[in-house]
Amino acid sequence: TTSTDAALRTPIVAVLGHVDHGKTSVLDKVRGSAVIEGEAGAITQHIGATAVPLDVISEIAGELVDPTDFDLPGLLFIDTPGHHSFATLRSRGGALADIAILVVDVNDGFQPQTEEAIEILKRSETPFIVAANKIDTVPGWNPTEDAPVQATYESQSDRVRGDLDEKLYEIIGQLSDRGFSADLYWRVQNFQNNVGVVPVSAMTGEGIPDLLTVMMGLSQRYMKEAMEIDVAGPGVGTVLEVKEEKGFGTTLDVVLYDGTVREDDTIVVGGADSTIVTDVRALLKPRPLSEIRTESRFENVDELKAAAGIKIAAPELDDAMSGAPMRVVRDREIDDVIGEVEAEL
Ligand code: GTP
Ligand code: MG
């Protein structure tokens, strides 16, 4: 009985890569916050979602982005941990994403979890770009904070530029060895057939405007149709984490990629032994530009539309599994929805 309410949802961007290559730092730079201060060099134990609205993107990207060129509402970034033991989170993150950023440290090149991420992206046919990170570490680098990368690249001495080129072409070669034709992003005409490599520094912010511009361009051009969803329909998402939360008991951190979820909705969630059917008690939304895993004060909301990271408080979630599907029942038969969830497990 719900009328359809077609709209463009925010594309979901997974950030993947080997441990310490700078995934969280890149997102941090985008967020402008300093989560990294507390966890520099540490393993990211959790996965978070960060919504970046179009106006913020266009502010960061400056002259590179004209917001009137876009009608997508922004980007939703999913950070993933690079540590080898978090393979499930990487593969779920990669599979549910519309597009991805593969972060590669220019000094380290391809490493085991870089390879693993490439395999995930290949398998799920997720379009991606490569952020060749830490360009500021090239000896003699002369930074221009937050600048678009082509300008800063051209302002380096011949020797510095030559050193960086060597590292970048190594990465481009490694991509091509794995069947991806790749090039520096400004030389790529068709991002559908070629992987664009964006040199960046999460430290100085160089190349971050380019990274956002390329991601927006990619989603707008190649994914717009897929982004048309019935935002009023019953919500569908993936559980990223099952967490104990003071005052709420066991909660689910979910990435909602379709429809809506409302307070008091009945939901079906994949569990360790069987599917769980329960009623939403509270919907807790992270504030814009903040991340689930670091947000202590949640916003209580009645309803949330895809795409978004959301925390769901409900009874009987102890058996829920990270990586499991979550579906809102709304005005359908519970058994049908249980069947859909079981089919996805
Ligand atoms: P995991 O989540 O553990 O997989 O690591 P990560 O990929 O999120 O890396 P993180 O952002 O935590 O960065 C790892 C280390 O590299 C930190 O000490 C950062 O300060 C440093 N780092 C990240 N990006 C840059 C960069 O562009 N330049 C320099 N010089 N250091 C960087
Ligand atoms: Mg991290």
**ipTM rounded to 2 decimals:** 0.99
Residue 297, both tokens:
């004060």
Distance 232 CA to ligand 2 centre (A): 34
Instruction: Please write the tens of the pLDDT for every residue from 169-195.
Output: 999 999 999 999 999 999 999 888 899
Within a 10 A sphere around the Cβ of 155, how many other Cβ atoms? 13
Q: What distance in Å separates the CA atoms of residue 263 and residue 281, rounded to the nearest whole number?
A: 6
> From the centroid of its chain, how far is CA 328?
23
Instruction: Give the model's pLDDT for residue 246.
Output: 84
Instruction: Give the model's pLDDT for residue 294.
Output: 56
Instruction: Give the model's pLDDT for residue 45.
Output: 40
> pLDDT class for 35, splitting at 50, 70, 90?
very low
The backbone torsions φ and ψ at residue 336, rounded to the nearest 5 degrees and listed phi first, read -60, -45
Mean of per-residue pLDDT scores for the chain: 87
Residue 88 · residue 322 · CB < 8 Å:
yes
Residue 259 · residue 233 · CB < 8 Å:
yes
Residue 268 · residue 337 · CB < 8 Å:
yes
Q: What percent of the chain has pLDDT over 70?
A: 90
pLDDT beyond 70 at 248: yes
Q: Which of 18, 19, 20 to mutate to test the pocket of ligand 1 (most atoms within 8 A of CB)?
A: 20
Residue 221 · residue 299 · CB < 8 Å:
no
pLDDT beyond 50 at 155: yes
- The sign of the CA dihedral 151, 152, 156, 162 is negative
Helix axes 23-31, 208-222, angle to 10 degrees: 90
Q: Is 24 in the pocket of ligand 1 (CB under 6 A)?
A: yes
Instruction: Give the model's pLDDT for residue 307.
Output: 87
Within a 10 A sphere around the Cβ of 12, how many other Cβ atoms? 28
22 is in an annotated binding site: yes
Q: Is 81 in the pocket of ligand 1 (CB under 6 A)?
A: yes
pLDDT, mean of residues 329-339: 96
Q: What distance in Å separates the CA atoms of residue 267 and residue 250, rounded to the nearest whole number?
A: 15
Going along the chain, which residue ranges are E strands?
6-8, 12-17, 48-53, 74-79, 99-105, 128-133, 182-184, 195-199, 228-230, 236-245, 249-258, 260-262, 266-269, 276-279, 282-285, 299-301, 303-305, 308-313, 325-328
Q: What distance in Å separates the CA atoms of residue 341 and residue 71, rounded to the nearest whole number?
A: 32
Of all protein residues, the one whose alpha carbon is nearest to atom 23 of ligand 1 is 22
Instruction: Give the model's pLDDT for residue 100.
Output: 95
pLDDT beyond 90 at 166: yes
Q: Which of 21, 23, 24, 25 to mutate to test the pocket of ligand 1 (most atoms within 8 A of CB)?
A: 25
Instruction: Please write the tens of the pLDDT for every residue from 190-244.
Output: 888 899 999 999 999 999 999 999 998 888 877 777 778 777 899 999 998 899 9
Q: What distance in Å separates the CA atoms of residue 51 and residue 10, rounded to the nearest whole number?
A: 8
| Ramachandran category for residue 73: left, alpha or beta (phi over 0 → left; psi -120 to 50 → alpha) | alpha
Q: What distance in Å separates the CA atoms of residue 236 and residue 323, rounded to the nearest whole number?
A: 13
Of 19-33, 51-65, 139-153, 246-260, the poorest mean pLDDT is in 51-65
> pLDDT class for 2, splitting at 50, 70, 90?
very low
> pLDDT class for 293, splitting at 50, 70, 90?
low
Measured from the CA of 137, which atom of ligand 1 is nearest? 30
Higher pLDDT, 64 or 125: 125
- DSSP code for 18: S
Q: What distance in Å separates the CA atoms of residue 28 and residue 331, rounded to the nearest whole number?
A: 40
80 is in an annotated binding site: yes
Q: What distance in Å separates the CA atoms of residue 241 and residue 131, rounded to the nearest whole number?
A: 26
Q: Which helix (H) or strand (E) holds 126?
A: none
Instruction: Give the model's pLDDT for residue 232.
Output: 85
Residue 177 vs residues 50, 171, 197, 222: alpha-carbon distances, Å: 33, 10, 15, 25
What residues have their beta carbon closer than 5 A to ion ligand 2? 23-24, 44
> pLDDT class for 291, splitting at 50, 70, 90?
low
Q: What distance in Å separates the CA atoms of residue 253 and residue 239, rounded to the nearest whole number?
A: 6
Q: Is 202 in the pocket of ligand 1 (CB under 6 A)?
A: yes
